[in-house]
Structure 1
Amino acid sequence: MSHNYFVYILTNKNKTVLYTGVTNDLEVRLKQYVGNRENKFAFTFKYNCHYLIFFERHQFIEHAIEREKEIKGWTRKKKNELIEIVNPNWRFLNEEIIER
């Protein structure tokens, strides 16, 4: 059975803050961040961090969690380099994921 788990990186409008997370439904998670009215996700709410700039899919949750922890431990420079491999212009990818 194939599953989808995503490790993702969000940023704010000015691209000064990075947040790394993991989810099994990227579309739903992005909608939660954008519609965050109850401060449910404190860090992302505080820094207005809901613009998707990087994601990768994993079949197993254990691999996704391991990768999330790995990326969270990286320096900002190394995270920037990862993002720029797949998204060199740091385009916001939300509209590609969220169905209207």
Structure 2
Amino acid sequence: MIKGYTYILCCNDGSYYTGSTKDLEKRLSEHNNGTGANYTAKRLPVTLLYYEEYSRIDQAFYREKQLQGWSRKKKEALMSGASELLPGLAKKIYIKKNS
């Protein structure tokens, strides 16, 4: 049984919003009513682009936080099914070595 969803919306200004919920249809309606989130309320209407299903809401919430840290290009690769591109789109962290 599905208990949680992680989703990506496209806002009217072309930006993406990532969230998680127990009820995807209800949450999408809330976003389009202007009661979903402050971010989306200022960028209506929104369109559902992508979602993932989870057996527990905490898993969906964890995935939401993961995706929120991703670049736009990496999210687009995920949504298009181009999973082979994801490692190359990961953010690189440079560590300065002591000389």
TM-score scaled by structure 2? Answer: 0.73
RMSD: 1.9
Deviations 1:30-50 (A, max 9, x none): 1111122xx552100112252
- Determine helix, strand or coil for the equivalent of 2:44: coil
| 1:28 aligns with one of 26, 29, 47 | 26
Query: Which residue does the alignment assign to 2:17?
Result: 19
Whichever of the two has the greater Rg, that structure is 2
Query: Which residue does the alignment assign to 2:89?
Result: none
Percent same amino acid among aligned pairs?
34
* 5+ long unaligned stretches in structure 2: 83-99
Deviations 1:64-99 (A, max 9, x none): 11111110001111001111119xxxxxxxxxxxxx
Query: Which residue does the alignment assign to 1:9?
Result: 8
* 5+ long unaligned stretches in structure 1: 87-100
Is 1:58 aligned with 2:54?
yes
TM-score scaled by structure 1? Answer: 0.73
User: Aligned residue pairs: how many?
Assistant: 82
Following the alignment from structure 1 to structure 2, what is the Cα–Cα distance between the partners of residues 82 and 64?
A: 16
Deviant stretches of 4+, over 3 Å: none
Higher relative contact order (CA 8 A, sep 6+): 1
